[in-house]
Structures are given as structure tokens and as C-alpha cells.
């Protein structure tokens, strides 16, 4: 199979394959994506047989804030294989080519949102972001007993809402990690596609200043939230009070909240508690680059750790290395010493993103090694983080 980045002359084949596997031709997102986004803002990698596109993935560009640094990385979407090529390891070849291509482009890691995690786990992807999934009866959505003083709610034009929403997003993201930095391009894409999907926007203000917002739609008795952010708890409560005002015509609210959301602690019925919902996966492609970018905690300066990393898909990512922690950063030294800890690429990805700590992963059998000193070093180097991301393409 011939793998290459698509050009304009083969974009129609990608559109046809997308139509077969995902949104259909003529739907708002499909028409926008292939007229305004595909190849204009992203790259598409495809595998061809006799000139026909058999398999593809789209590399959509984002800037993610991870470990105190902004990283330009791809969000992999649109992974699809024509039925005529399924069962022939086409996707495996596609992933291998993507990994090689991205490493050559000096991309340290990638993310994706899986339909089914088992498709991507064999290729080293692991969960990096969790969410809480609520389904709440609107009639019972009363967390304060009264409308909070000083707050107002206003419905605004979704397409024109960036100036109101962007400052709230920026203030809210201060307490999170692993999130997307949204510039004007990302905001425009988010709001244009939301409006095309009939999402409305409500903004909550306190003494005239915007403090919370939600993108949502109303359909078949359900209010579905695409994004709900608030700079503080009272603003979030006032936003939920707004939704309670929709009770009667609509019966329930569906909301995929941040993993640290504690709204359920104020709900009167424990049956309304949310489900934990794994949301985004990641894949470190260049562990050495990630390690070299890590800040060294003061208490680790002068220490060393022999780390063994096994990567079944990317040979160049496999390493046996001695980490020398200095004031200038981590030095990676060749070594023949036995590793103090062993882990695979997916586990390293979860450490790097801070979803779990080293001791948790060791207890789960995902880090091998019983050196308490080694686990202490990893926990200090990779402290757990409060991850949040809410991008859908």
C-alpha cells in the first residue's frame, strides 16, 4: 500500500470515505469540514491501492498546555478504512506510517478521542483525560433554593460569542492541565460548527462581567451541554439555575462535566451521581523529547534513575537510559545498568500527562520494579495533574 499525505486532487476520496464512515454528505459539519477545514487547516495521511484511498487519518493541529509548556501536536480524527481493505492490517500500517511521519516532524505526542478504546490500545494509546457524565432531571436542578443575587443570564449569538466566552475559558483553564490553548482560529471553528449543529449559547454575568457560559442544544425532551465553564462555583450554580428554567418542555439535562466537578455532592438523590467517563487518549511518540522538556524539582537535583521503556510500535522510542537530574534539566545518559523501573509507551504517556501517579500505576501492574526510591522519583517528576480538554475534532 502506498502511504502519503493527501493533496487537493485526492481530497474528494477522503470526503467519500468520511461520508461512508461518519457524517453524511449534505450535513452541516460535513460540508463545513471539507470546504473550510480539510487541507486548509490540517493534514490527511492516506493509504492508497491502485490509486484508490483505502485508509486514512486526519491530523488536526492544536496547542496543548502540558507540564508547563505549550506543545504543537495533532489531534487524530477521522480514522477510517474502506470495507474492501479491512482485515488486511491496513490500519496497522497506517498507524506505523503516521508514527514515523510525526516523529520526523518532531511531534512529541498525539491525542485522539476513541469510539472504542480497544482499537487504539494495541498501538500504544492510553487514557489521558477523564470526565463525569451527568443525566439530571431539570425539575430537580436546584442547588441554592433561590436565584442568586447579582447574576444575570443572557442568550447570545453563538457565532459571535468569542469575545464573551474566550476570557471565561482562559480564566477557567488556569486550574487545569492538558487543555487546548484556543486562539481565534480554534474559537471560530468551535463556534461555527456549534451553530451549525443548532447549539445555543448562554452567558452568565455577575455585576455585568461575564463569569460563566454554556453551549447547548434542545432536542427530544433533552438539553445537551457541549461545553459548560464557570470561573467560580456561584456562577456555575446560576448557570444550572438557567437550565432549570427550561423544565416542563424539557425533562433532562445531559452534561459531560470536568473530572474534578463536585456538583453531585449538592444533589438530593445519590442516584443522580455521575458516571466516570474516559474521554481522551494520548500517545507519546518521542519519550526522550518529553523527558528533556520536564522541569526538574529541586529535591531531585543530583539524583539518578535508570529507566527502561519498551515501545512495541516505535523502535526509536524504546530506551534503556540513566536519567541524571541537574539544575539545567534532565540529562539522558547511555547505560548498561539494570533498569530500576520498566514501563511501556502507554504507561509513560499516562505518567507524562499526570492522569495517574507512579505508585498507582505500579500497584496496577503497569510499572515493573519495587524500588521505593525509583517510585518516589517518578512521583516527584510526574506529579498528578487536573486534566481537562473539550475539543471534538
Is residue 217 within 8 A of residue 177, CB to CB? The reply is no
Tell me the pLDDT band of 60, cut-offs 50, 70 and 90: very high
**Do residue 260 and residue 330 come from a single domain?**
no
Q: Is 390 inside any structural domain?
A: no
pLDDT of residue 83: 97
| Side-chain half-sphere CA neighbours of 63 within 13 A | 10
Q: What is the pLDDT of residues 382-391, one digit of tens each?
A: 999 999 999 9
**Do residue 136 and residue 274 come from a single domain?**
yes
In this prediction the pTM is: 0.96
**Do residue 220 and residue 327 come from a single domain?**
no
Q: Is 122 inside any structural domain?
A: no
The mean of the pLDDT values for the chain is 97
Average pLDDT rounded to a whole number, residues 355-376: 94
Of the listed ranges 34-43, 51-60, 142-151, 324-333, the least confidently predicted one is 142-151
Given 278, 298, 315, the domain boundary residue is 278
CA angle, 294 as apex, 110 and 292 as ends, to 5°? 80
Average pLDDT rounded to a whole number, residues 3-16: 98
Q: What is the pLDDT of residues 208-235, one digit of tens each?
A: 999 999 999 999 999 999 999 999 999 9
- CATH at 8: 3.40.630.30
**Do residue 32 and residue 93 come from a single domain?**
yes
**Do residue 159 and residue 30 come from a single domain?**
no
pLDDT of residue 115: 95
Q: Is 358 inside any structural domain?
A: no
**Do residue 219 and residue 154 come from a single domain?**
yes
**Do residue 299 and residue 191 come from a single domain?**
no
**Do residue 45 and residue 95 come from a single domain?**
yes
Q: What is the pLDDT of residues 67-89, one digit of tens each?
A: 999 999 999 999 999 999 999 99
Tell me the pLDDT band of 369, cut-offs 50, 70 and 90: confident
Q: How many domains does the chain have?
A: 3
Q: What is the pLDDT of residues 185-208, one digit of tens each?
A: 999 999 999 999 999 999 999 999
Is residue 382 within 8 A of residue 352, CB to CB? The reply is yes
What cell does 24 get? 453524511
Q: Is 386 inside any structural domain?
A: no
> If you search the block for the grid coordinates 514501563, which residue do you land on?
343
Q: Is 11 inside any structural domain?
A: yes
Given 257, 278, 299, the domain boundary residue is 278
pLDDT of residue 186: 98
Give the burial class of 349: count Cβ atoms within 10 A of its Cβ; 0-12 exposed, 13-18 middle, 19 or more buried.
Answer: buried
Average pLDDT rounded to a whole number, residues 94-122: 98
**Do residue 140 and residue 20 come from a single domain?**
no
Q: What is the pLDDT of residues 10-53, one digit of tens each?
A: 999 999 999 999 999 999 999 999 999 999 999 999 999 999 99
**Do residue 143 and residue 254 come from a single domain?**
yes
Given 112, 143, 168, the domain boundary residue is 112
pLDDT of residue 141: 87
Q: Which residues have a Cβ under 8 Å from the Cβ of 175 and sit 6 or more positions away?
A: 386
Average pLDDT rounded to a whole number, residues 98-107: 98
Q: What is the pLDDT of residues 236-272, one digit of tens each?
A: 999 999 999 999 899 999 999 999 999 999 998 999 9
- CATH at 314: 3.30.1050
Q: What is the pLDDT of residues 275-309, one digit of tens each?
A: 999 999 999 999 999 999 999 999 999 999 999 99
Q: Is 87 left (phi over 0), alpha (psi -120 to 50) or beta?
A: left
Q: Is 126 inside any structural domain?
A: no
Q: Is 127 inside any structural domain?
A: no
Tell me the pLDDT band of 65, cut-offs 50, 70 and 90: very high
Q: Is it the case that residue 144 has pLDDT exceeding 80?
A: no
What does the buried/exposed string (b/e) look like for 287-304 if buried means 16 or more CB atoms within 10 Å of the residue's CB? bbbbbebbebeeebeebe
pLDDT of residue 146: 81
**Do residue 266 and residue 304 come from a single domain?**
no
Q: Is it the case that residue 370 has pLDDT exceeding 80?
A: no
Q: Is 26 inside any structural domain?
A: yes
Instruction: Report, in angstroms and rounded to the nearest whole number, the Rg of the chain calculated over CA atoms.
Output: 23
Domain ranges, residue 147: 132-278
pLDDT of residue 124: 98
**Do residue 312 and residue 337 come from a single domain?**
yes
Is residue 95 within 8 A of residue 107, CB to CB? The reply is no
Amino acid at each position: 500500500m502506498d502511504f502519503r499525505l493527501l493533496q487537493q486532487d485526492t481530497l474528494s476520496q477522503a470526503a467519500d470515505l468520511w461520508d461512508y464512515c461518519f457524517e453524511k454528505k449534505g450535513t452541516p459539519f460535513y460540508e463545513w469540514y471539507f470546504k473550510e477545514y480539510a487541507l486548509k487547516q490540517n493534514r490527511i495521511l492516506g493509504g492508497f491501492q491502485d490509486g484508490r484511498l483505502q485508509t486514512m487519518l486526519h491530523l488536526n493541529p492544536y496547542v496543548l498546555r502540558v507540564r508547563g509548556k505549550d506543545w504543537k501536536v495533532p489531534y487524530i480524527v477521522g480514522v477510517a478504512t474502506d470495507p474492501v481493505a479491512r482485515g488486511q492490517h491496513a490500519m496497522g500500517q497506517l498507524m506505523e506510517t503516521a508514527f514515523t511521519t510525526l516523529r520526523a516532524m518532531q511531534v512529541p505526542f498525539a491525542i485522539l478521542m476513541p469510539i472504542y478504546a480497544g482499537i487504539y490500545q494495541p498501538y500504544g494509546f492510553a487514557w489521558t483525560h477523564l470526565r463525569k457524565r451527568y443525566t439530571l432531571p431539570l425539575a430537580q436542578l436546584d442547588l441554592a433554593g433561590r436565584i442568586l443575587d447579582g447574576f444575570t443570564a443572557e442568550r447570545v449569538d453563538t457565532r459571535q460569542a468569542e469575545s464573551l466566552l474566550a476570557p471565561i475559558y482562559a480564566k477557567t483553564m488556569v486550574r487545569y492541565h492538558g487543555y487546548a490553548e484556543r486562539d481565534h482560529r480554534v474559537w471560530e471553528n468551535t463556534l461555527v460548527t456549534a451553530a451549525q449543529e443548532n447549539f445555543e449559547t448562554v452567558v452568565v454575568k455577575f455585576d455585568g462581567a461575564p463569569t460563566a457560559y454554556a453551549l447547548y442544544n434542545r432536542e427530544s425532551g433533552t438539553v445537551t451541554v457541549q461545553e459548560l465553564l464557570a470561573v467560580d462555583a456561584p456562577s456555575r450554580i446560576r448557570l444550572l439555575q438557567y437550565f432549570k428554567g427550561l423544565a416542563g418542555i424539557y425533562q433532562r439535562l445531559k452534561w459531560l462535566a470536568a473530572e474534578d466537578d463536585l456538583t453531585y455532592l449538592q444533589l438530593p438523590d445519590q442516584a443522580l451521581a455521575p458516571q466516570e467517563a474516559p474521554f481522551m487518549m494520548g500517545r507519546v511518540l518521542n519519550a526522550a523529547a518529553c523527558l528533556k522538556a520536564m522541569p526538574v524539582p529541586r529535591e531531585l537535583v543530583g539524583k539518578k534513575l535508570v529507566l527502561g521503556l519498551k515501545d512495541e510500535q516505535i523502535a526509536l522510542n524504546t530506551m534503556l537510559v540513566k536519567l541524571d537530574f541537574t539544575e539545567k534539566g534532565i540529562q539522558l545518559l547511555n547505560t548498561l545498568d539494570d533498569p530500576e523501573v520498566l514501563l511501556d509507551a502507554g504507561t509513560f504517556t499516562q505518567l507524562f500527562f499526570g492522569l495517574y501517579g507512579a505508585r498507582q500505576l505500579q500497584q496496577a501492574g503497569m510499572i515493573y520494579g519495587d524500588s521505593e526510591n525509583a517510585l518516589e522519583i517518578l512521583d516527584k517528576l510526574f506529579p498528578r495533574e487536573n486534566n481537562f480538554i473539550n475539543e471534538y475534532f
